[in-house]
Amino acid sequence: MSQIRRSKILQYLVMLVALEIIAISINMFYAPHDIAAGGATGLGILLEAAFGFNLSLVVLIINMAMLILAYFFLSKQTVLKIAVGSFVLPLCLALTPQIKLIKDPLLTVIVGGSVFAVGISMLYQINASSGGTTVPPLIIKKFWGVKTSLSLLAIDGFICLLNVFVSGFETMALAITSQVLTTIVMNFIETGLDRKKIIYIMSDDVLEEIKAKLGFLGKALTIFNVTGGFTGHDKEMLMVVVENPDYHQMLEVVHEIDASAFVLVMNASEARGGIWNDGDQYNVKVEIPSDSPAANEHPTN
């Protein structure tokens, strides 16, 4: 079996698992409490709660309607990308039992929103979609240039507001809370779980001592030659990448040597390749023009 074929099979397996995770979040958390937190599944929950319609059938009808719109207004490649999810998600909803696992609505939203975020993030990782209300934002972007994230937020927000007419204000508030929580969890998953800190350090007098101390601790360094934007003075700036648990130790080391040292800290979601945090010191000098955004100045200059 070729590598390309294995990769395709793996993608379809990931998609199937992701869609089942989404189905679990809907049937075991949202639907039993009549919480419609956006999307075609949200409309299905509302129609099921108000008129007793079958949830999976409603989602299938909405997905088919959106697929027809995509066929006429979007590219064939986009249609193929959303077609699989449009058919498989209603099937997963039909096969997954609808059970109220948690009685407390707020706890249901917390757990269900997190589970839903995992499923959606898995789809995003393989550039797939569950169809439904993701189609109109693509059409709106094509013809009017509006960002898909904004139009999708508006559509999902409108579906959340519809909870008022079916289950009341409290359910609407829970649906909105779920949307916020899902967004937060998705952002955390998509930007990486193995987070690190990037620390930039400048010192007027004792930078060599700081370098020696960090090298002794086994921290790899990258050295930038920078120029003050106003003073025109040339300086060296250190860049160190550390694991989150080592962050405070690093700050203590730097401030013990120079309490007035300039320290700039940034979050890094991932670090690959090179030698950035082991026993071998890795010093690299990089020349940066004075007009580059990376050329920073000590605040006291």
pLDDT at 276: 57
Q: Are residues 136 and 203 in the same domain?
A: no
Of 161, 180, 15, which is closest to residue 82 (Cα–Cα)?
15
Q: Decide: 191 and 269 in contact? Cβ < 8 Å.
A: yes
pLDDT digits (tens, 9 = 90+) for 223-264: 889 998 888 888 899 998 888 778 888 888 898 999 889 999
Q: What is the pLDDT of residue 196?
A: 83
Tokens of 19: 């869609």
Choose one of 190, 215, 236: the last residue of a domain. 190
**Which has the higher per-residue pLDDT, 80 or 299?**
80
Is residue 142 a part of any domain in this protein? yes
For the segment 26-31, the average pLDDT, to the nearest whole number, is 96
pLDDT tens, residue by residue, 35-83: 999 999 999 999 999 999 999 999 999 999 999 999 999 888 888 888 9
pLDDT of amino acid 156: 92
Q: What pLDDT does residue 222 have? A: 87
177 in the same domain as 200: no
CATH number for the domain including 223? 3.30.70.120
Q: Are residues 164 and 217 in the same domain?
A: no
- Does some domain include residue 13? yes
Q: What is the pLDDT of residue 292?
A: 38
The answer on pLDDT for 203 being more than 80 is yes
Helix locations, the chain, DSSP H: 3-25, 39-51, 55-73, 76-95, 105-125, 135-144, 148-161, 163-166, 169-190, 207-216, 247-257
Higher pLDDT, 95 or 230: 95
> What gap in Å lies between CA 16 and CA 20, rounded to an integer?
6
Q: Is position 107 within any domain?
A: yes
Confidence of residue 192 (pLDDT cuts 50, 70, 90): low
Task: Report the b/e string of 263-281 with b at 16+ CB within 10 A.
Answer: eeeeebeebeeeebbeeeb
149 and 232 share one domain? no
Domain that holds residue 184: 3-190
Checking if the pLDDT of 294 tops 70, the result is no
Both 184 and 39 in one domain: the answer is yes
So what's the pLDDT on residue 291? 43
Report how far residue 56's alpha carbon sits from residue 90's, in angstroms, rounded to the nearest whole number.
Answer: 5
The domain boundary, picked from 172, 190, 208, lies at 190
* Cα gap 55→28, rounded to integer Å: 13
For 65, the token pair is: 């309607």
Average pLDDT, rounded, for the chain: 85
Q: Is 145 exposed, middle or buried (0-12, 13-18, 19+ CB in 10 A)?
A: exposed
The pLDDT value recorded for residue 246 is 81
Q: Based on the domain organization, do 179 and 200 belong to the same domain?
A: no
Token representation of residue 264: 């700039």
Based on the fold, state whether residues 98 and 233 are members of the same structural domain. Answer: no
**Domain shared by 80 and 225, yes or no:** no
For residue 219, pLDDT over 80 is answered with no
For the chain, give the percent of residues with pLDDT over 90: 47
* pLDDT-wise least confident of 106-110, 113-117, 285-289: 285-289
User: Same structural domain for residues 81 and 148?
Assistant: yes
pLDDT mean over 132-136: 89
CA–centroid distance for 279 within its chain:
32
pLDDT confidence of residue 293? 38
pLDDT band, very low/low/confident/very high, at 7 (cuts 50, 70, 90): confident
Whether residue 238 sits in one domain with residue 182:
no
pLDDT for res 275: 60
Whether residue 32 has pLDDT greater than 70: yes
How many structural domains comprise the chain? Answer: 2
Claim to verify: residue 146 and residue 245 sit in the same structural domain: no
Tokens of 215: 């090298």
Does the pLDDT at position 188 exceed 90? Answer: no
